[in-house]
Amino acid sequence: MIQGQCGQEFPQRVIWLTETFRWQAAYDKLAEHGILSVHLPLTASRPLTHNTLLWQAVCQIKQYDWLIFPDAEEAELFFDMLLQCRTDVRALGHIKLLAGNQEAEQAVRKRGVFCAFPPCETQEETVRKMAEQSCRRERALVLSGQHKAPGLLCACSRYGIAFDEVPVCQMVRTGKKLDLLLPDDFLVADLPQAVEAVCGQLSQQERGKHILIALTEGAGSAAQQAGFMVLRLSKKSVPALLKLFQTKGGETHETTTDLSGRGRDGDIALPDRTGETGD
């Protein structure tokens, strides 16, 4: 165990089974509390090299009324495909654009176009607002990236929005290995694919001895099915993680540990791969 500030005990290590670019702020903040972060990405996303479905969707873009980007990556890939098709971005004039999070909205604005409205706090709220502005005959094109935006797609179905889904990425294994997993180590995952990858390196018995912090519903479900002790975050921030570490072993499986309050000093939000930020 590592002794943190105010005499609290924390686990030896937090092993992040996530992709690199999204989490540096979390590593730095946890380090201030004496918590060692180890980044071990077991999966990585790669754009589909010959994406016939995306090509067809771009060529037939006029048949859609809404174009939905769950994350910035999907927006970048779509606009790059527009260039390859020699299609001017002004051809999207009739389409209402929708971003699943602020990063996606920034990627859209960077191309000189704007979303129908800013993304709401959760994807559920964003889709509900979209449904209020839609008529029955309208159809949406959803570009699904590495996480496939399950929350957004489910919300579209619930609100009766007709949509076509086009995958733009594929998930591959990095080949990295868990050399030695210590008894007090925490695992952190945001994608079910990362959970599947770590399951290939741990026996059922070993999984039952370790706690996995799930940053998304998909990762939590996959981890629970795999036999891990699962802790879920309903609000994704470093203070919420610290709270889990302070109560290590006290709440597992179906329990959701919440974080009271938002926007306080030192409250660093953890990016959510589904675009949702809690609640």
Helix axes 150-158, 217-226, angle to 10 degrees: 110
* pLDDT for 227 beyond 90: yes
Main-chain phi, psi angles of 76, to 5 degrees: -60, -45
Domains parsed from the chain with CATH numbers: 2-42+175-257 (3.40.50.10090), 47-170 (3.40.50.10090)
* pLDDT for 254 beyond 70: no
> pLDDT: is 225 or 267 the higher one?
225
Percent of the chain with pLDDT over 90: 21
Q: What is the pLDDT of residue 223?
A: 93
> pLDDT: is 160 or 1 the higher one?
160
Q: What is the pLDDT of residue 144?
A: 80
Main-chain phi, psi angles of 138, to 5 degrees: -75, 150
Q: What is the mean pLDDT of residues 4-27?
A: 68
* pLDDT for 232 beyond 90: no
Whether 104 and 69 have beta carbons less than 8 Å apart is answered as: yes
Contacts of 89 (CB under 8 A, 6+ apart): 79, 82, 111, 112, 113
* pLDDT for 1 beyond 50: no
Q: What is the pLDDT of residue 78?
A: 86
Cα–Cα distance list, 278 to 13, 23, 143, 239, 275 (Å): 25, 17, 22, 13, 9
Please, what is the Cα angle at 128 between 122 and 133, to 5 degrees?
130
Q: What is the mean pLDDT of residues 39-46?
A: 84
